[in-house]
Amino acid sequence: RKEVEQDPGPFNVPEGATVAFNCTYSNSASQSFFWYRQDCRKEPKLLMSVYSSGNEDGRFTAQLNRASQYISLLIRDSKLSDSATYLCVVNGPYGNKLVFGAGTILRVKS
């Protein structure tokens, strides 16, 4: 089983739609969780951290479910500029190493 698993997509959605991605992780001791965004041929950039109580940043909402070991990302009112690959990230067995999922592709179309 992979340490971090994501649906690779692609998710093709119209502008204005709400879209959600899930990600599961295998290490129950993980303490840190993030969503990164990666544009084509660019480096990954931090989108948001994920906190235990859930957190929101504008149109983006992240949730953590420790019991089921998954995290989610909800994007409301999708924009064309949201088209990217979204990477789920958790800290690994050693606290200083992060483990990246393979990413979920989102395509927002007009």
Partner 1 sequence: DVKVTQSSRYLVKRTGEKVFLECVQDMDHENMFWYRQDPGLGLRLIYFSYDVKMKEKGDIPEGYSVSREKKERFSLILESASTNQTSMYLCASRPPSGGDQPQHFGDGTRLSIL
Kindly list the residues in this chain that would bind partner 1 in the complex (CB under 8 A).
31-34, 36, 41-46, 49, 51, 87, 89, 91, 94-98, 100-103
- Distance of closest approach, residue 42 Cβ to partner 1, in angstroms: 7
- Distance of closest approach, residue 20 Cβ to partner 1, in angstroms: 20
Q: Which is nearer to partner 1, 64 or 75 (CB)?
A: 64
Question: Contact 32/93 with Cβ under 8 angstroms?
Answer: no
Q: Which is nearer to partner 1, 19 or 62 (CB)?
A: 62
Strand partners, 59: none
Question: Contact 62/50 with Cβ under 8 angstroms?
Answer: yes
Extended beta strands in the chain, E state: 4-6, 11-14, 19-25, 33-38, 45-49, 55-57, 60-65, 70-75, 84-91, 98-100, 104-109
- Distance of closest approach, residue 63 Cβ to partner 1, in angstroms: 15
Q: Which is nearer to partner 1, 83 or 91 (CB)?
A: 91
